Structure 1
Amino acid sequence: MSVEQLDTVDLISIDKENETLVLTILDALEWDEEDVHLYTLQTKINTYLEFIRTGEVYQAEPEAKGMRMAIEAMFKYRPHQAGEDFLAKVETMLYEQVKVKFSYGPNPATGYIDSDS
């Protein structure tokens, strides 16, 4: 799965210690100046919110009932400035409007990969 598969959830996991269901976006796209990546990411985030809003999340993971919800985006490439600005807005908006925690960063195993490689 990947960010480019707009109608699917890439990864579902449960953080039992924090009683949180985590929906992960796996994003291997390079950041572009035309903002195609940002549009794709925004569409994917909306898919995840709809998955939560409709309750489909509980069909996929019944154990999640009563848990907090979180969306994390795991990037291969470091976001450019417009990407960072967008992600900061998403983080604030999701928590304030729907109480969904949003976080992002590199794959913990590999870190960010330079776009020039």
Structure 2
Amino acid sequence: MSVTDTEVIDMWGIPKWDHNKIILGITDHLGWADKTEQGEHLLALQEKLNAYIAFIESGDIYTEIPGALGKSPIIRIIGKYELSEQGELLVDRATEVLKEVGIGLEFVLKQDDVTDNE
């Protein structure tokens, strides 16, 4: 499961603090180091977002996740690396468009926890 696998919803959950929402998570492990990597990353992220949007708009969300009925969907991108400038533009624009159709979008930076064993 990852941003590169458009056939799979990586994860989903209904927050305990807000039973009116359902969060669909995208795990994004790709970096943004150079232009080639950025281009491939943007394309992968856009394709994954489109797959999630289709999953919601087709109603498949309700047959695959019966508890989703009546809940507001939020797509959460869980990134290993900070967004590049182009990545931020994509997320910002997608957030605006999706808001109009009742779908939330957010990016969360989730870096690996590093523990010091000394």
TM-score (normalizing by structure 2): 0.86
1:39 aligns with 2:43: yes
| Alignment RMSD (CA, Å) | 1.7
2:87 equivalent in structure 1: 83
1:52 aligns with 2:56: yes
**SS of residue in 1 equivalent to 2:35:** coil
**SS of residue in 2 equivalent to 1:95:** helix
Cα distance change on mapping 1:108 and 1:60 into 2, 3 Å: farther
Q: CA deviation at 1:77?
A: 0.8
**SS of residue in 2 equivalent to 1:102:** strand
2:105 equivalent in structure 1: 102
Question: How far apart are the structure 2 equivalents of 1:69 and 1:55?
Answer: 12
Larger radius of gyration: 2
Q: Which of structure 1's runs of 4+ aligned residues deviate more than 4 A?
A: none
2:9 and 2:52 in contact (8 A); partners too: yes
Question: How far apart are the structure 1 equivalents of 2:78 and 2:84?
Answer: 15
In structure 2, stretches of 5+ residues that fail to align are 114-118
**SS of residue in 2 equivalent to 1:46:** helix
Superimposed CA distance per residue, residues 5-32 of structure 1 (whole angstroms, 9 cap, x where no aligned partner): 1111100111243210110000000114
1:5 aligns with 2:9: no
In structure 1, stretches of 5+ residues that fail to align are 111-117
Once the two structures are aligned, what percentage of the paired residues are identical?
31
